[in-house]
Amino acid sequence: MAAYDDNNIFAKILRGDIPCHKCDEDEFTLSFHDIAPQAPVHVLVIPKGRYVDYTDFASHASAAEIAGFAKAIQRVAEKTGISETGYRIISNIGVNGHQEVPHLHMHVIGGAPTGPMLSKQG
């Protein structure tokens, strides 16, 4: 696993160096609207701790951080109105998962049908 990069864009957002359109925040998480949304609702939920990906988080986060992260996803779904109609939660991990930012983040996507999870390959 790669080392945590304190200069990744989400670390800069957490420090306040880069602004975001906040959706939710508590002691463990920050949630904000994606700048290039892939659906009518597209919010990123990130832990405030220095975690590269979900594997790092599950291995090193406290029980309170893990619970806080799960509850933040649920709050975002309720605040954005997608908890009633359904939504998708996605976390990209590593090269094969196409992770672009080396800070754990969950994409909470909804507000319209999201289509199949993966395209079928012949």
Residue 53 domain flag: yes
105 is catalytic: yes
| Beta-carbon-side half-sphere exposure of residue 119 (alpha carbons within 13 Å) | 2
- Window from 2-6, 36-40, 84-88 with minimum mean pLDDT: 2-6
CATH number of 58's domain: 3.30.428.10
The per-residue pLDDT for range 91-103, each reduced to its tens digit, is: 999 999 999 999 9
Catalytic residue of the set 33, 60, 98, 105: 105
Q: Is 7 exposed, middle or buried (0-12, 13-18, 19+ CB in 10 A)?
A: exposed
Residue 2 domain flag: no
The residue range of the domain holding 14 is 9-110
Residue 42 domain flag: yes
Number of domains in the chain: 1
Residue 106 domain flag: yes
Residue 116 domain flag: no
For residues 26-36, average pLDDT: 98
What's the predicted TM-score (pTM) here? 0.94
Residue 46 domain flag: yes
Residue 63 domain flag: yes
C-alpha dist (Å) from residue 119 to 69, 115, 122: 29, 9, 10
**What pLDDT shows up at residue 122?**
56
pLDDT at 120 exceeding the cut of 80: no
Q: What angle do CA 57, 75, 108 make, to 5 degrees?
A: 65
Amino acid at 111: G
> What's the DSSP call for residue 43?
E
